[in-house]
Amino acid sequence: MSKDPKGREEPGFMRHAFVCGHERPDGAARPSCLPKDSMRMMRELKQSVRDLGLKGVRVQKSGCLDYCEFGPTCVIYPEGTWYSLEADGAFDAVLKHLETGEVQVKFTLDLSD
Ligand code: FES
């Protein structure tokens, strides 16, 4: 079986996190995540994943994830779990999810209000 340059034999990741990096112009009808420092958080998540030596975990920028009012928005697959990175502790919760696969319910997006 052939391998890619990183030694992988098949495509895909064990866990895949997307952090919204979208920006809207001033006066737009909806807010956006970039002005809420989402790309700094994404870079720190990527570095933390590297520092922990997590294999099979990918963190990357996305376009608008359409939950703009709750941003900075992050979604992790394959669980399909949505987080807002706005709350204190949310960054660590997302990192824990990436490390363990356990959904950190306290920090998931809650649209029930
Ligand atoms: S701008 Fe980030 S979810 Fe829409």
- For the chain, which domains are there? 15-107 (3.40.30.10)
What is the per-residue pLDDT across 75-106, written as a single tens digit (0 to 9) for each? 999 999 999 999 999 999 999 999 999 999 99
Residue 56's alpha-carbon distances to 23, 34, 94, in angstroms, are 29, 26, 16
Give the integer Cα–Cα distance in Å for 81 and 65.
12
- Whether ligand 1 lies within 6 angstroms of the CB of 68 is answered as yes
What is the per-residue pLDDT across 48-82, written as a single tens digit (0 to 9) for each? 999 999 999 999 999 999 999 999 999 999 999 99
> Given this model, what pLDDT does residue 6 score?
85
> Given this model, what pLDDT does residue 95 score?
98
Evaluate if residue 113 carries a pLDDT over 80. no
Measured in angstroms, how far is the CA atom of residue 103 from the centroid of ligand 1?
21
Q: Which residue's alpha carbon is at the smallest distance from atom 1 of ligand 1?
A: 32
